[in-house]
Structure 1
Amino acid sequence: MAALSMLVYIEECIYIYRKVLTPKKTAINWVNGAAPVIATMSCLGMWIPKATMFTDMTSGSYFAIVVYKFLIMMVEECGGDEEFLKRCGKNTLRISTGPCCCCCPCLPRVAITRVHRGHTGGTHRRTLFLLKLGSFQFALLKTVFSILSIILWTNENFDVANMEITGAAIWINPFVGILTIIALWPVAIMFMHLRPVLSSLRIIPKYAMYQLVLVLSQLQSAIINILAMNGTIACAPPYSSQARGYLMSQQLLILEMFIITLVNRLMYRRHYDPLPLIDPHEDDNDQNTKILQSESGDNIL
């Protein structure tokens, strides 16, 4: 199943590179590769148990890049930064979304563009830049912390099962978790804003598959590993409880990522038509509608 997932992904990459323009095709291929890469790394970790540290870190680093690329893909589906700002620049963003602020509906809406004019008269799109930066930091720092963890592991200073205050894992893993939450927030904000615009491009099922990969590769694996470390998963010689937990997690991921790869193929391997052009009179029509509504209200009074 891992081999088939990779073959399906390679065929899909060839199709997208032929049919889709840059830079959209790069973002699509990155997002599409999450499931087959995780399946392949899980397969390698299952057959070579001593390489589990390397395969897990590779999968985690790749998915960190996917989080950033999914945000870029949504912007590119609108036609790029400039086209996105033309379509949505006059609107506001609702920032009271998960995973950070879903319990804070009172938060104010934020303008998409904050224009700062300098001596040259140029503009700086601050909000869009901050959204991209919020996801990009995870792609960068997750890779850095993965390399650091591997270096410490080779020196026997990093052990996931070591929860003592002097251990490296108790400091690195929670910090990476905070970075993950911060990175997922801009993607959720952008998705909530572009969901009506990109509904014809199946953005809702694409986002659902992206979230499913996140839950299965991060949350499911963490739960199984915690159960294994606590001895809840019984040992079966020659496998210890922790080894059985890793084996169970990797077997489940191979099956789940294979199914997600097939579903993603149905959604991404298609003819990519541009979004309909913006009606230049749309704002005028909306303004006239508001004026007529206010006049009718005055007449009634």
Structure 2
Amino acid sequence: MDDFNITIDPSCLQEAPLAIDIIEQLDVLGIILYSVLTLMAALSLLVYLEECVYIYRKVPSPKKTTIIWVTGAAPVIATMSCLGLWIPKAIMFTDMTSGSYFAIVVYKFLILMLEEWPCCCCCPCLPHAPVTRRTLFLLKFGSLQFALLKTIFTIISIVLWANGNFDLSDLEITGTAIWINPFVGVLTIIALWPVAIMFMHLRNTLRSQKLIPKYAMYQLVLVLSQLQTAIINILALNGDIACAPPFSSSVRGSLMSQQLLILEMFIITLVNRLLYRRHYEPLPAADQHEKDNAENATIILQCENGDNMA
């Protein structure tokens, strides 16, 4: 009977508060925390913009566009997390924006590995090549589908939310979120598989291009922005994260996720600057590829003739 006498703060059952409500509730420690996190997000964006200027001037096309996309994952997520930190009602939109951007980054990172290995566009037509044109097409398509479908499902989710049919906390079988989110998860796994295959194929060849630490940062962004956020949200939905008025349990879990992401993406942005802000050699021209193909074919023919004569 004692359980029926427990009172619940009405704030724990309310929706996310407005930005002005958060500002009015901040104490000295809260002001310091929000100020430091906002500064980190701003510095991440400034570091990224400075890196974009350097890459645009120093890196030949089309590699510079790909690098700008890939290195933008951490600062974009940090910026969206900062917006969600100050405006909790917009957390769903900021998370979806970050997820859509990272879906494009998955495809762009695959393209980056191919561009760092310029011979891959000509090697498939040679005998005994480990990667065929058909395989290369399937790998690209596997990542590209995620970039396209993730954006499409994000738009659909926003439209359904506006109509009152999409709620992340609704885990009933009749809810739309319980169908859309697992399907997007399957698309994510399908998209990550081609990138992992290509990395295993090129990790030794592109060791001098620092491919291993670049891939590690890419994987870290994936784990922190997707898996970490999902775990915290699940804990919040189960009530394992206590309510702290004016924040409900789910809103407080989302804010904790945003705070962690800002700090983590700030560090990753600095590491990416060390990895990508370097001198890039221009990619060989197409005619040079054709010349290499002709020379390789000649060598193969000479070897085969020598074996026949023997």
- TM-score (norm: length of structure 1): 0.81
Mapped pair 1:226 → 2:234: yes
* Fraction of identical pairs, as percent: 73
CA contact (8 A) 1:71 1:187 kept: yes
Deviation at 1:161, TM superposition (A): 0.8
Deviation at 1:83, TM superposition (A): 4.2
Mapped pair 1:78 → 2:117: yes
Mapped pair 1:213 → 2:252: no
Separation in 1, partners of 2:264, 2:128: 41
Report which of the two has the higher share of helix.
2
CA contact (8 A) 1:75 1:84 kept: no
SS, match of residue 118 in structure 2: coil
Match of 1:49 in 2: 88
After alignment, is 234-243 or 262-271 more displaced? Answer: 234-243
Mapped pair 1:66 → 2:105: yes
Bigger RCO (CA 8 Å, 6+ sep): 2
SS, match of residue 273 in structure 1: coil
After TM superposition, the structure 1 = structure 2 runs for residues 111-150 of structure 1, keeping only pairs within 5 Å, are 112-113=131-132, 125-150=133-158
Rg larger for:
2
Match of 2:19 in 1: none
Match of 1:91 in 2: 129
Deviation at 1:57, TM superposition (A): 0.7
Match of 1:5 in 2: 44
Separation in 2, partners of 1:181, 1:283: 42
Per-residue CA deviations over 1:141-176 (Å, capped at 9, x if unaligned) read 000000000111111100111111110001000000
Separation in 2, partners of 1:84, 1:274: 19
Q: 1:14 to 1:166 in 2, by over 3 A?
A: same
After TM superposition, the structure 1 = structure 2 runs for residues 126-205 of structure 1, keeping only pairs within 5 Å, are 126-205=134-213
Separation in 2, partners of 1:2, 1:80: 38
Separation in 1, partners of 2:79, 2:127: 41
Q: 1:44 to 1:256 in 2, by over 3 A?
A: same
Deviation at 1:127, TM superposition (A): 1.3
Whichever residue aligns with residue 27 of structure 1, its letter is T
Per-residue CA deviations over 1:4-27 (Å, capped at 9, x if unaligned) read 000000010010011111111111
Deviation at 1:282, TM superposition (A): 10
Per-residue CA deviations over 1:181-219 (Å, capped at 9, x if unaligned) read 000000001111011111100000000000000000000
CA contact (8 A) 2:84 2:258 kept: yes
CA contact (8 A) 1:78 1:275 kept: no
Separation in 2, partners of 1:281, 1:161: 59
Structure 2 unpaired stretches of 5+: 1-39
After TM superposition, the structure 1 = structure 2 runs for residues 219-258 of structure 1, keeping only pairs within 5 Å, are 219-258=227-266
Match of 1:260 in 2: 268
SS, match of residue 28 in structure 1: helix
Per-residue CA deviations over 1:62-96 (Å, capped at 9, x if unaligned) read 0000000000001111127524547x87332xxxx
Deviation at 1:284, TM superposition (A): 5.1
Deviation at 1:237, TM superposition (A): 1.5
Separation in 1, partners of 2:189, 2:244: 36
Whichever residue aligns with residue 248 of structure 2, its letter is S
CA contact (8 A) 2:123 2:129 kept: no
- TM-score (norm: length of structure 2): 0.78
Deviation at 1:243, TM superposition (A): 1.2
Whichever residue aligns with residue 51 of structure 2, its letter is E
CA RMSD of aligned residues (A): 2.5
Number of matched residues? 261
